[in-house]
Structure 1
Amino acid sequence: MRILLSAAIAALVAAPALAQSPALPHVALETALGTITLKLEADKAPATVANFLRYVDEKRLDGTSFYRAMLVGEPGSFGLIQGGVQGDPKRLLPPVKHEPTTQTGLSNISGAISMARAAPGTATADFFIILGNLSSLDAKTEGEGDILGFAPFGQVVAGMEVVTAIQTAQTDPEKGKGAMKGQMLAKPIAIKTARRVAPPPPPEPEPAPAAEPEFDPSELPQP
């Protein structure tokens, strides 16, 4: 009796594919140094993403800037760039509730975009993009004081070279207060526009494996 491995493989290939979830929103930040494209994790951080998209859709980020660059070590290794409206009352919306990483499952790793804040629940429009693994900014499950960390809500999917260029722009040693002193850009990098963009097309499915040939057990090598 012949063993038909090809039939078993065909049955697996013919299994119905899982339904795909809706595409996540994408936003392009057109800056003076190039475009940074973001994928926003609306399924994991819905309140934070909705808040950010409202700023985008109402064009409240147009004409703002990246104004802070923190560099630790070699360019592009560790640090962050920060941008937003810098408290401009004409652009501000009410604060958004804090969605900690212990709730969202996201992390402050390289390319993540997170909300800048003072106390939890005070974030409005300012945000930062991370270079390197800064998961120390994630929420903690125990400890004293403010352990809720910073709230990432998306990821850079194109334009990290622009992020690095902003991070390495010249800073003013006299500008800034407290921990931000010396990290303020001498010439802020303009965010010309912030717009929703279409997500990239899904990757092409891999071709089905070639069918296994039929064979007779008697043809196998014998001990």
Structure 2
Amino acid sequence: MIPVRIETPYGNIDLDLDDVHAPITTANFLNLIDNNTLEGADFYRIVISSQTYGELPTIDVIQGGIGWTRCKDVPPIAHEPTTLTGLRHIDGTISMGRTAEFGASSEFFICIGEQRKLDAGVIEGPGAAGFSAFGQVTSGMDVVKTIQQLPTLHESPTGEERFNDQFLIEAVPLKVRRL
């Protein structure tokens, strides 16, 4: 396990990254830290399970990184599904966000409560590959929950209705470092 800290104005979130079970994803995240790719990163999106998203599963997470535009400049990594790593999306899991178009690169999220719908093979369709869990919050879940309750924009800045009420009115700046 490799300890890292996410510093925010609301407090710190300490994590242990699992380089044994998720070596590719952990190495990518550490590379983002070491190369200052996460400079200027923030938590910018929250998802609350009480919201509905059409065909998307309802989940509880906060998402951070350098943003959907800048992340396209970061080379994607190989996907490490939970069926390969044995890790699961439980309370406090950190996982890489991904898109079918670009794969996982710099965007990440932290689960609030068990989010098994994000594990590989649990749902059908575009989300069946799941996401790459690679670590666990060791302290600071109160900070994660505080961020998830911050006010959001009613209309998504992406223009996609399915993301309405998910983008924070004011993104939460973050700094990630190794401990």
Distance 1:30 1:147, change over 3 A: same
Which structure 2 residues correspond to residues 183-222 of structure 1 after superposition, within 5 A?
A: 183-191=166-174, 193-197=175-179
Q: Find the partner of 1:182 among 158, 165, 177.
A: 165
> Structure 2 CA distance, aligned partners of 1:91 and 1:30?
24
Q: Report the identity percentage.
A: 40
Show structure 1 runs of 5+ residues with no match. Answer: 1-23, 198-223
- TM-score, structure 2 normalization: 0.86
Alignment of 1:62-77 (within 5 A): 62-73=39-50
Residues 143 and 63 of structure 1, relative CA distance in 2, 3 Å threshold: closer
Which of 118, 123, 134 does residue 137 from structure 1 map onto? 118
RMSD: 2.2
Separation in structure 2 between the aligned mates of residue 82 and residue 124 of structure 1, nearest angstrom: 13
Tell me whether 1:85 sits opposite 2:66 in the alignment: yes
Give the 3 Å change call, closer, same or farther, for CA 68–148 of structure 1 in structure 2: same
Report 1:9-24 matches (<5 A).
Answer: 24=1
Give TM-score scaled by structure 1 length: 0.70
| Largest Rg, 1 or 2 | 1
Say which SS state the counterpart of residue 42 (structure 2) adopts: strand
Point out 4+ residue stretches in structure 1 off by more than 3 angstroms: 87-92, 141-146
The alignment status of 1:25 with 2:9, answered yes or no, reads no
CA distance in structure 2 between the aligned counterparts of 1:121 and 1:43, rounded to whole angstroms: 25
SS in 1 for 2:7: strand
Structure 2 contact 71–105 (Cα < 8 Å) conserved: no
Query: Cα deviations across residues 65-118 of structure 1 (Å, max 9, x unaligned)?
Result: 100111235xxxx61100001145499431010000000000111100111111
